[in-house]
Amino acid sequence: MKTQYDSRPIGIFDSGVGGLTVLKELLAAFPNENFIYLGDTARVPYGAKSTRTIERYTIQVADFLIRRNVKGLVAACNTASALGLGALRAHCDTPVLGVIQPGCQQAMEHIKDKNSHIGIIGTRSTIASGAYPNTLALFEPQLKVSSLACPLFVPLVEEGWLEHTATRIIVEENLAPFIKNPVDILILGCTHYPVLKPVIAQILGKKTILIDSAEAVSESLGKLFKKVILPTQNNNTQMVEFYVTDVADRFQEVAGRFLDSLNVASVEMVDL
């Protein structure tokens, strides 16, 4: 008889702290599963880097988690998901889940008709990759999809300028094309952006539905559990290990902006 359970942890990675928004959703959705989080804080941000570099970094980060015996990998970073997953899937047998497909799926659930206009915002590299429009086209080829790179949003969030006048001006100017040609749905294609949801919602108005792919990932992981990853039988307290590639101080400080309740108690630094 085949084994029905797998007590190994799930590996989840990001270029830095943004992926904690995804981790938070997964911890709540899978309270018996253990997780290992790796933030590549020495090489953060990924958002303006090339496909070649992101592929290399994604594989190095995943290899660390695979060596720690994870049963599945979650790329909780839009840029790594958009540019690195093809190479990663070719490189390893461990099941890999990115954030692009779940985000697109969730957007599709809110679509009223084929004439809906979907907006996507993300880092320079995510937008240049075309990963979101290409994935949306698999669901519905005739959708109107518009993409915008918003490279200043990440530093603003990292520095905690969340509801500042300057932030409002920058967000407004970046989203100007979506004020001129309103979108029905806006995919927040970077794990940092949900922190700016209040400002974005205020600027685009109530008619635009904001999609936060972090929320969608746990649903997709649930599907993976039915297909390729076995759940744990663990009834003990949920365990999370944190690793970073640069010293942990600032990770712990910035992590607070992403997680209200989750206590990032102990973080270990590793060289990749």
Nearer to a second copy, 118 or 175 (CB): 175
77 a catalytic residue: yes
Alpha-helix runs per DSSP H in the chain: 20-29, 51-67, 78-83, 85-91, 100-109, 124-129, 131-139, 153-158, 165-174, 176-180, 197-204, 213-227, 249-258
Please give the full DSSP string across 181-228, using - where no structure is assigned.
S--SEEEEESTTGGGGHHHHHHHH-TTSEEEEHHHHHHHHHHHHHHHT
Q: Looking at 5, 28, 32, 50, which residue binds a second copy (CB under 8 A)?
A: 50
* Contact code string over 93-132 relative to a second copy, x by CB under 8 A: ----------------------------------------
Residue 49 contacts a second copy per CB under 8 A? yes
Residue 177 contacts a second copy per CB under 8 A? no
Whether 245 contacts 41, CB under 8 Å: yes
Residue 224 contacts a second copy per CB under 8 A? no
How many CA atoms within 13 Å lie on the side-chain side of 106? 22
**Which segment (81-89, 94-102, 180-188, 245-253) binds a second copy by CB under 8 A?**
245-253
150 a catalytic residue: no
Residue 250 contacts a second copy per CB under 8 A? yes
**Cis amide linkage into residue 155, ω under 30° from 0:** no
User: 143-172: which residues touch a second copy (CB under 8 A)?
Assistant: 151-152, 154-156, 158-159, 161, 164-166, 169-170
Among candidates 5, 26, 32, 2, which has minimal Cα distance to 231? 5
- Smallest gap, in angstroms, from Cβ of residue 14 to a second copy? 16
Nearer to a second copy, 8 or 43 (CB): 43
Whether 104 contacts 139, CB under 8 Å: yes
Give residue for tokens 């559990």: 225
Sequence length of the chain is 272
**Which segment (1-9, 179-187, 205-213, 240-248) binds a second copy by CB under 8 A?**
240-248
Residue 43 contacts a second copy per CB under 8 A? yes
Give residue for tokens 């999609």: 211
Nearer to a second copy, 42 or 230 (CB): 42
Q: Which of 92, 104, 150, 190 is catalytic?
A: 190
The residues that touch a second copy, with contacts defined as CB under 8 A, are 42-43, 48-50, 52-53, 151-152, 154-156, 158-159, 161, 164-166, 169-170, 173, 245-247, 249-250
